[in-house]
Amino acid sequence: MSEARETNIPTVYNPKEVEGKWYRHWENSKYFHAEVEKDKKPFCIVMPPPNVTGQLHMGHALDNTLQDILTRWRRMQGYNALWVPGTDHAGIATQAKVEEQLAKEGLTKYDLGREKFLERVWAWKEQYGNRITTQLRRLGASCDWDRERFTMDEGCSKAVQEVFIRLFEQGLIYRDYYITNWCPHCQTTISDIEVEHQDKPGQLYYIKYPCKDNPDEYITIATTRPETMLGDVAVAVNPEDDRYLHLVGKTLILPIVGREIPVIADAYCDPTFGTGAVKMTPAHDPNDFEIGRRHGLPEVQVIDKLGKMNENAGKYQGLDRWECRKRIVQDLEAMGALVKVEDISHAVGHCYRCNTAIEPMLSKQWFVKMKPLAEPAIEVVKDGRIKFIPERFTKIYLNWMENIRDWCISRQLWWGHRIPVYYCQDCDEMAASTTPVTKCSKCGGKMEQDPDVLDTWFSSALWPFSTLGWPEKTAELEHFYPTSVLVTGRDIIFFWVARMIFSGMYNMHEEPFKEVFIHGLVLDAQGRKMSKSLGNGVDPLEVIDSHGADSLRFMLITGNTPGNDLRFHFERLDGARSFANKLWNASRFVMMNLTDYDPAAQGGPYTLADRWILSRLQGTVADVTDFLERYELGEAARVLYDFIWSEFCDWYIELAKPRLFGKTTPEDRITTQQVLVQVLRKTLELLHPFMPFITEEIWQKLPHQGETIMLAPWPQADESLRDPAAEAEMAVLIEAITAVRRIRGEMNVPPGKKAEVILVAGDAEIRSTLERNITYLQGLANAQARVLAELKDKPDQAATAVTRGVEIFVPLRGLIDIDKEIARLNKDLKAVQADLARVQGKLNNQGFLAKAPAEVVEKEKAKEQDLSAKAKALKDRLAMLT
C-alpha cells in the first residue's frame, strides 16, 4: 500500500479546481476505453444520441448521470464495461439551423443546390456539433470517446442502407399514396408519434348538405374544419342509423362548390357523435382516407404544402387555410347553409419541432410494414427476454405495439440518409441499391435517385448494433451485443425504444438489450415541464459552475425513483453541496491525523465504536450494491448519504477524537487511524459512481493501491466484520446521547456547562451497555452520568426523556436560571399563540377560503399545524419547570 501523498488538503473544497483536472487525466489515461476482453463479463450501454443541434439540458443531465453511475459501478466490479457515446444528425432541426443562417445572407437552399447546401450543413456540424459532447464531459460522463459515433458516419450510413435494402427486397418497405402528417413550416412529413396533441379552443360548425332530388331535404354535418369541405367527395352514415337509411345511395349537393356527392353507409360512423353523419375528405383526414379506400372514393386535395388553398379550392385559391375558414363560414352563412356554431375545446395535432398545426395530407411516401416486425418485438417482451424497469411500462409498450400502424419513413429534406431507390425517367422501372444506379436495366434510360431522406429515427433504431460495427462481423458486436441495459426517458418509448427492439429482432435475430431502465422527466419546482416558452429551464452548466458537477449529479439521483418525474429544487441542490462539503471536511480531519500513520503497525483491540462502524460499513456495502442491482439508484444514494453524514461524520469521527487526542495508548491511536482510513476509503469507492470528482480527489490523498479510484475494486461486504451486537449496543448509546443533547438544546443549557444525567435502565443488558460505555455519553453529551436500575424519588425540576429501555433525567437546577427560562418560555409561547390565532382566523374566514388559491390555503394549514406543535412543546417545557 502506498503512503499518503500529503496529510493536509485545502480547507475549502473547490470543484472548479478539481473537476477539469481529473476529467482530463481520466480521458488522457484511456480509463474510459474498453477493448474486447473475452475473459471478462461484458457490460454495455449505448448512449441515447443527443441531437448535434442540442445543448445539455436537465433531461440529458439526469439520463447521462444514471448511465454513468451504472457504467462506473460495473467497471469497478470488474466487468468489461463499454459505454458507447454518439450524436444524432437530427434531420429537421439541423437543416432548419442552416436554413436560418442562409436566410440571414438572403439565400435559400435552392440558391445553393443540394450538393452545396449539404456542404454547408457538414461545415455547421463540424463547427457546432461537438458542443453537447464537450458539455457531457463536464458532467463527468465516463463514456468511451474513442468509439464515439454519429448517425451519419460511414459505418452507421452503411448499416442504414443495408437495412433499407433488406426490408425493401422482402416487401416490408413500400411506397404509396397515403395520408401523412405534414408540417407546413418544416416542409416535411412527420410520423404519428412526432405529433403533439394540444387542447385548443375551437368551433364546431353545423352545415346543411341538401339532397339533389329534393333541396328541402338535407343532411346536417358537424365539422371543426369547414375549409376542408372543398375536398368533400361523400357523406357517410352508419348502416344501422334509421334517420339516414332512406338517403343511402342518394346524391347530395356540396354547398358553395356545387359538386354532386353520394351518401354512403359505413360502420365507422358513430350515430351518437355529432349529427351521426360525417363529411368525407379522403385527402385531408386519415379516417376519411381509410373509408374512402374501402368505398373507392376519389381523393381531392385542396390544401398545398405551404398550408394554402390550391387550384382545387376555386375562388379561395391562394388563401391561408385559417383565412379560408373565415371566408367559407361567411359564405355559408350568407347562403343559409350554416345552421349553428358551437364553441368547443378539442385536441389539435402540432409538430413536435416547431409547434405548427399539422395538416393531414395525401402524398406519396415510403412506409415500413409494421405488423410482421412488431410480432417478434412483442414476443421478446412478453417472454421476459427484455424487461422494463419499472414493470408498469411493459403494458404501455405492448399496447402501442399491438395497435401499431405502418411507419412513414420518408422526409422531404436534404440533410439525412437519402433513400437508396432510383427511378427510370423513361419507364416505370425502380431499383433499390447501396451503390448509385445510373442506367435502367429494363430500357436503358437514365435513373435518378429519390430526392427524399429517411426519418432520423430510422438510423437511430439501429443504434445498439450499428455502433458496434454491424453489418460487419466485428469482435465488439460478438462480445457486447445484446447490450446490457438501455437507460432512457419515458417520453421516447415509442419514438426510439420500440423501434430499436423490432430492428434488433429483425436484423440480429436477438434482443438489442436485456433491460430498459425508464426514468421520468426533470420538472421545475412547481411540477411543470421545463421549456423556453415558460422560461423555467435550468441550465446544467450554470449549476456546475456554481455548485459543481458532483452536487448536480447527487441532487438528481437522491429522491429519484425509476419511471417517476423529478422536481428540481435549488434547496436540494444546496443540500447536495453541503453533503460534498461535509465529506470534504471529514476527510480533511482524517488526513490531518495521519502524519504518523503506519498501515503495517500493530494496533490494539477494536472498541465498541470500531466494531460498530465496521459492521455498519458492511451493511452499507451490501445495501448499496443491492439497490444498484435493482436500479434503485436513488435509494442507493440515500443509504450512502445517511451512512456518511450521520454514522461516519457525526458519530464515529466524534467518538474517535478522544482516542486520537486524549490520553490513550499508541496502539489505540493506530487502531483508530486504521479504521478511519479503511472506512473512508471504502466509502469513497462506494460513492465514486455518484460523485466521481470529489471522491477521486480525496482517494488520491489517502493511503491507497492503484492508479485511480475509477479502477479500484468495488467493495465487498465482509461478513466476518458484521457485528449485530455492536450495532444494538451503539443504538442504545446513540439514542441516549441524542436525547440528552436535545434536552440541553431545548432548555438552553450553556454548551460549556457539564450536566448531571441519571440513566435508569431496568434491563440488565442495557444497563451493562451503558455502564461499560459511559465515557462515550459523558464526552459527547458533556455530562456527568450515572446508571441506575431504578429510581425511587424522581428529581424536581428535571427534564426527562425515554429512549430504548432507558429513562433519562437531567436535573436543571444549577444548570440554568429557572425563573429566567420560565419567563423566556412564556414570552415565546405568547408570540406563538398570537401567530396561531392569526392563522386560525384566516382559516375560519369563509371569504379567504373562497378567494385564496388552493396552494395558499394549504400553506396556511401547514403553518397552523407547525404553530400548534410549537405551542404544545413550549407548554410541555413550562410544565416540566413549574
Q: Which residues contact 564 (CB under 8 A, 6 or more apart)?
A: 520
pTM of the model: 0.83
Asked which of 368-377, 488-497, 512-521, 723-732 is least confident by mean pLDDT, the reply is 488-497
pLDDT of res. 4: 40
Respond yes or no on whether the N-terminal peptide bond of residue 390 is cis (omega within 30° of 0): yes
pLDDT of res. 353: 72
Q: What is the pLDDT of residues 108-158, one digit of tens each?
A: 888 999 999 999 999 999 998 889 999 999 999 999 999 999 999 999 999
Write out the three cell numbers for 266: 359505413
> What is the secondary structure of 754-788 as a DSSP string?
PEEEEEE--SHHHHHHHHHTHHHHHHHTTEEEEEE
Check if the beta carbon of residue 45 is closer than 8 Å to that of residue 84: yes
* pLDDT surpassing 50 at residue 592: yes
Say which amino acid occupies 725. A
Q: How far apart are CA 203 and CA 225, in angstroms?
A: 9
Q: How far apart are CA 704 and CA 777, in angstroms?
A: 34
Rounded average pLDDT over 37-53: 95
* pLDDT surpassing 90 at residue 609: yes
Q: How far apart are CA 414 and CA 432, in angstroms?
A: 19
Domains by residue range for the chain, with CATH: 188-360 (3.90.740.10), 572-710 (1.10.730.10), 727-816 (3.30.2320), 819-881 (1.10.287.380)
Rounded average pLDDT over 488-510: 92
Q: What is the pLDDT of residues 529-547, one digit of tens each?
A: 887 767 888 899 999 999 9
Q: Which residues contact 100 (CB under 8 A, 6 or more apart)?
A: none
Check if the beta carbon of residue 466 is closer than 8 Å to that of residue 457: no
Write out the three cell numbers for 135: 458539455
pLDDT of res. 5: 42
What residues form DSSP beta bridges with 361? 180
pLDDT of res. 821: 76
* Percent share of the chain, pLDDT over 90: 67
Average pLDDT of every residue of the chain? 91
Query: Which H or E element spans position 483?
Result: strand 483-489
Query: Which H or E element spans position 175?
Result: strand 173-183
863 is in an annotated binding site: no
Q: How far apart are CA 582 and CA 477, in angstroms?
A: 44
Q: How far apart are CA 21 and CA 700, in angstroms?
A: 13
Q: How far apart are CA 790 and CA 760, in angstroms?
A: 6
* pLDDT surpassing 90 at residue 682: yes
pLDDT of res. 15: 95
Q: How far apart are CA 288 and CA 223, in angstroms?
A: 13
Q: How far apart are CA 674 and CA 682, in angstroms?
A: 12
The torsion angles phi and psi of 775, rounded to 5 degrees, stand at -65, -35
Q: Which residues contact 426 (CB under 8 A, 6 or more apart)?
A: 440, 443, 445, 446
| Cell numbers 358513430: residue | 270
The closest alpha carbon to 129, from 49, 53, 55, 61, belongs to 53
Q: What is the pLDDT of residues 197-242, one digit of tens each?
A: 888 888 999 999 999 988 889 999 999 999 999 999 999 999 888 9
Q: Which residues contact 538 (CB under 8 A, 6 or more apart)?
A: 58, 524, 530, 568
Dihedral angle sign, alpha carbons of residues 313, 317, 320, 323: negative
Any alpha helices (H) in 536-665, and if so which ranges? 540-547, 549-557, 570-592, 608-629, 633-642, 653-661
User: Cα torsion for 591, 596, 601, 605, to the nearest 10°?
Assistant: -70
Q: pLDDT-derived band of residue 3, with 50, 70 and 90 as boundaries? A: very low
Say which amino acid occupies 753. K
The torsion angles phi and psi of 127, rounded to 5 degrees, stand at -80, -40
Q: Based on the number of CB atoms within 10 Å of its own CB, is 210 exposed (0-12), middle (13-18) or buried (19 or more)?
A: middle
pLDDT of res. 206: 95
Q: What is the pLDDT of residues 397-428, one digit of tens each?
A: 999 899 888 898 998 899 999 999 999 998 88
pLDDT of res. 737: 94
